[in-house]
Amino acid sequence: MSDSLDAYLVLAGILFAIGSFGFLARRNAISMLMSIELMLNGVNLSIVAFGAFIPELGAQGSVIALMVMAVAAAEATVGLAIVIAIYRNKRTPLVDEYDAMKQ
Amino acid sequence: MVRRLIPIVLGLALLGIVTGIAVVMIVFLGQDWGDALFWVFAATMIGSGLLVVTMRDIIRCGLAMIVCFGALAGIYVILGAPLIAAAQVIVYIGAISVLILFAIMLTQTKDAPSRLVFQTQAIPAAIASVVIAVVIALAIAATDWSEAAERVRVATDVMSHLLFEQFVLPFEIVSVLLLAAVIGGVFLAKREPGGPS
């Protein structure tokens, strides 16, 4: 089981699907950011799995995964700062009460 | 008191079932340690990932996310990429999880967890995510990964040569990106002088 690329890719797909469900369904803005982190981790797992199983890629898969991690860290920083800035104005973390652009 | 114990007992029971299946796989089915560990880490990751998106208390969601990231680090070790596993532990468990937990503590009001957890579109979202998972699984099963040969172990020295020779420009761009993220985060989250309290 741990020697087939398919198992890792299916695992990454399941993690991505769980993250997409959380992103679409949760009301809390921070829960949505956590779901985005889950999706990024699913993608990262598939990248590392491809790098580990396809000899032509070699270490390049791992390098790309490191880049993805750095971008994810930057995304978490800016996203959480935006959530805190919105919370300071609206006094709620729930996204369905952010309706200032609807009016 | 009893109601607080129920999730702990359930969690321990699930962990016991997963470990039991792993022991059965090693002892009776004759599979090796890699398969059993892969099973344990995959089950832990999927289970805690489901807890992240379904639990009511958002602090517990954050803690479940840490468990999910730790299991994923174990899977990276099985895949033969120990440096990525170390980076996963340092970046995700050490930095991003702490950041998210602090943001949770800064933004939650007292009554927030007791009210509705999901939006009204939860059922379409569940259907959509199941469809995504099925489509990905079908695509993976239908594709012939004939290139996939013996697993490649990524040595740290090989990877560092690659990172600092061929990928040195993306490396520098990432450093600039992180600097921009730090400045942007401080700017967005700082209080305006004379603004709303």
B185 touches chain A (CB under 8 A): yes
Domain that holds residue A82: 5-95
Interface of B with A in 1-30 (CB under 8 A): none
Interface of A with B in 41-100 (CB under 8 A): 41, 45, 48-49, 51-63, 65-67, 69-78, 80-85, 87-89, 91-96
Is residue A103 domain-resident?
Answer: no
* Nearest of B78, B83, B77, B74 to residue B157 by alpha carbon: B83
Confidence class for position A32, pLDDT limits 50, 70, 90: very high
Domain boundaries, chain B: 1-110, 155-197
What is the spatial distance between Cα A23 and Cα B92, in angstroms, rounded to a whole number?
A: 19
Kindly determine whether residue B100 and residue A76, on different chains, have CB atoms separated by under 8 Å.
yes
Distance of CA B137 to the CA centre of its chain: 19
Tokens 């079932």 identify what position? B17
Six-digit token string for A57:
């890629």
More confident residue, B152 or A27: A27
Which CATH number fits the domain that encloses residue A31?
Answer: 1.10.287.3510
Compute φ and ψ for B155, nearest 5 degrees.
Answer: -80, 150
Residue of A nearest to B167 (CA): A63
Task: State whether the Cα torsion B26-B31-B37-B41 is positive or negative.
Answer: negative
Is residue A46 domain-resident?
Answer: yes
Average pLDDT, integer, range A6-21: 92
Is residue A101 domain-resident?
Answer: no
Is residue A100 domain-resident?
Answer: no
Among the partner-chain residues A5, A74, A93, the one whose CB lies closest to the CB of B107 is A93
* B177 in Cβ contact with A70 (< 8 Å): yes
Average pLDDT, integer, range A85-89: 86
ipTM, two decimals: 0.90
Q: What is the DSSP string of B124-154?
A: HHHHHHHHHHHHHHHHHHHS--TT--SPPP-
According to DSSP H, which parts of chain A are helical? Answer: 5-25, 29-53, 60-90
* B76 in Cβ contact with A48 (< 8 Å): yes
pLDDT at position B112: 53
Kindly determine whether residue B174 and residue A67, on different chains, have CB atoms separated by under 8 Å.
yes
**A41-70 in b/e burial notation, b at 16+ Cβ within 10 A?**
bbbbbbbbbbbbbbeebbbbbbbbbbbbbb
Task: State whether the Cα torsion B113-B119-B124-B125 is positive or negative.
Answer: negative
Least confident interval from A21-30, A70-79, B16-25: B16-25
Is residue A42 domain-resident?
Answer: yes
What digits encode the pLDDT tens for the residues A39-51? 999 999 999 998 8
Tens digits of pLDDT across chain B (197 residues): 667 777 778 878 888 887 887 777 777 776 777 788 888 899 989 999 998 988 888 888 999 999 999 999 999 988 888 889 999 999 999 899 999 999 888 887 765 555 667 777 888 888 888 998 898 888 888 877 665 555 666 777 888 888 888 889 999 999 999 999 999 988 888 877 655 54
What is the spatial distance between Cα A96 and Cα A83, in angstroms, rounded to a whole number?
A: 13
What is the spatial distance between Cα B125 and Cα B88, in angstroms, rounded to a whole number?
A: 28
Contacts of A66 (CB under 8 A, 6+ apart): B84, B87, B163
Which CATH number is B1-110 given?
1.20.120.1200
